[in-house]
Amino acid sequence: MTEDQGKLTTSKKQEIQHHFGKASSSYDKNANLQRQIADRLIASLEPWKAIIPEGPIIELGCGTGFVTEGLAELYSNREIEVTDLSQKMIECCRQKFPDTPHLRFSQMDAEYPPHEDPHYALTVSGFTAQWFDDPALTLGKWLRATKAGGLLLISFPGNESFPRWKKYCRELGLPYTGNTLPDVEEVVIKMSVEPSQVDYYEDTVTETFSSALDFFRSLKNIGASTQKEGRALSPSELSLLIDHWDSQSEGPVKVDYHVVFLAVKKDF
């Protein structure tokens, strides 16, 4: 497979785009985890604020603007390209920043960087890399598009997320239908191929829901319900899983996210 040939079909990309666009109006009310991770991502950028080189900044997968807000405040004198696969998300984000001329909004598939040569001083993406066909490969492209002394700063849910969901599927003999999430080791190795300094931090963040059904509904309400591969559970299988998950929970249903923060500084 070449870098330009992905596993995701055009129809699957369109499905991802459609679901996020449809959820743009409900996203802010339901994306509590994403907001929390965005705040932490921006906070981790503070030490780098004054030392990145001259040049534009780009945000991949802006959503409704959780990360965008922090970037606009930290870099009020820089040109910032704000991008997303979903045009509806872009429009929703744009409406939040009516008086910020240094922000430029555009629809873009982040798997295809517009510049192959070093161009950006800073590339930031909050909880988007898991939707890439090949996260390590795509982030490698963005590192190559980063200037010497520049920074690639990313957060994403890692492959150790959702242990309870996986466990209960095994107990019932059902297929686990969550999407394959980025492998931290693979991403770090890929980032280390280029002359760079790679730092990363892993954490477990737990969300609680009144039931397993509410958890699955929350994925739909933020647009994250597209199943990239494999078959979906039948209604009866899903009902069986929900009932079993609820019965195994003492009180609220807990969902664990393996959260990864990755900072890659391009060497001079």
Instruction: Summarize pLDDT for 112-163 with one digit per residue, the tens.
Output: 999 989 999 999 999 999 999 999 999 999 999 999 999 999 999 999 999 9
- What residue ranges define each of the domains in the chain, with the CATH number in brackets? 10-162+180-206+257-266 (3.40.50.150)
Query: Which pLDDT value is given to residue 1?
Result: 35
Exposure string (b/e) for 131-166, b if CB count within 10 Å is 16 or more?
A: bbebbbbbbbbbbbbbbebbbbbbbbbbbbbbebbe
What letter does residue 123 receive in the DSSP assignment?
Answer: E
Q: What is the DSSP string of 22-47?
A: HTTTTHHHH-HHHHHHHHHHHHHHGG
Query: Which pLDDT value is given to residue 199?
Result: 95
Q: What is the DSSP string of 61-108?
A: --TTSHHHHHHHHHTTTS-EEEEES-HHHHHHHHHT-TT-TTEEEEE-
Query: Which pLDDT value is given to residue 7?
Result: 66
Instruction: Give the 3-state secondary structure of residue 224.
Output: coil
The percentage of the chain sitting over the pLDDT mark of 70, rounded to a whole number, equals 97
Query: Which pLDDT value is given to residue 4?
Result: 40
Query: Which pLDDT value is given to residue 11?
Result: 87
Residue of 88, 71, 51, 179 lying closest to 126 (CA atoms):
71
Residues in the chain, pLDDT under 50: 1-6
Query: Which pLDDT value is given to residue 193?
Result: 86
Number of H helices, E strands in the chain: 10, 7
Query: Which pLDDT value is given to residue 10?
Result: 83
